[in-house]
Structure 1
Amino acid sequence: MGLQESNLYDEKDDTGFQEGYPYPYPHTLYLMESANLRPHRFQPDQLRAKMILFAFGNALAQARLLYGNDAKVLEQPVVVQSVGTDGRVFQFLVLQLNTTDLASSEGIKNLVWVDSDQLLYQHFWCLPVIKKKVVVEPVGPTGFQPETFKKFLALYLHGAV
């Protein structure tokens, strides 16, 4: 019995939103690195690579739905924001898709802005640190960085207000 090997692919751009939904594209992608064991966690550069991949995929799916499948320079850029974190260190990314023509190295380019390794806090104490019956470190975060939270909030609220 002779079987021929063949590959069948159902190529489909799927944004994950139901058809007819009034907001069919993501505003911001959130990627949470939740591995509890350090050896299994993504390194920050690996998380940023994952963020670029997901942002590009979402932008490309949106561009194809808006402008068709032909590779070309887009009438209006498609922008996708992304936030990646392990809960303590944040990565911020904005991808602007200007063209779906990825074969050419000439002309219009796609852009990515990255603000990496932004610490939200130094450490979080689950129990107070007590020395000689005196609370040295209270429960909660130490070394809080409000600028990191402001960046997170800016991406979260962008276009909403």
Structure 2
Amino acid sequence: TFGAKCAKCCRNIAPTDWVRRAKDQVFHLACFSCDQCGRQLSTGEQFAMIDEQVLCRSHYYELDGSTTSSDDGYDCDGFNKNKSKRIRTTFTEEQLQILQANFQIDSNPDGQDLERIANMTGLSKRVTQVWFQNCRARQKKHKNPRDCDRSPVQTLLPIVPPDICMATSITAAA
């Protein structure tokens, strides 16, 4: 059996289970939900992870804004309240297909092409640019032009569908 356990329910993840990955944790698809409201999070939706808690965007901002603070720029726990956490971007299957198809044509598109691809996917130009940079880095690391189609986990577990590029997108456990 596959050795991974769901970070929320702690049950084993079967090879046929669909999972979501966030940071270094793996969740059953149904278990990947906001710990505040219980709503299941979708591919492409922004979320935050704080102290092993998964939060939807609205509850992250609600929690982040609800800390008691003093006027010195630090909250009551001593953390800098002015420094916001970046919410990780996840991609839909359609966005990944568009990005990967364009990567096969040109792995280093110019600014105009990045803008066109960003418009096609509904992503910002910067997110699109970083996706291409990450894929080129992954390609260089593995010295195999097809490796951009796989997340690092997929290179270890080959029965995961090869059309997933981001670790936070839906994948089948292997």
Same fold per superposition (TM over 0.5): no
TM-score range (shorter-chain normalised) is: under 0.3
Higher relative CO (CA 8 A, sep ≥ 6), structure 1 or 2? 2
**TM-score, structure 2 as length reference:** 0.23
**TM-score, structure 1 as length reference:** 0.24
Of the two, which has the highest radius of gyration?
A: 1
In proportion to residue count, which structure has more strand? Answer: 1
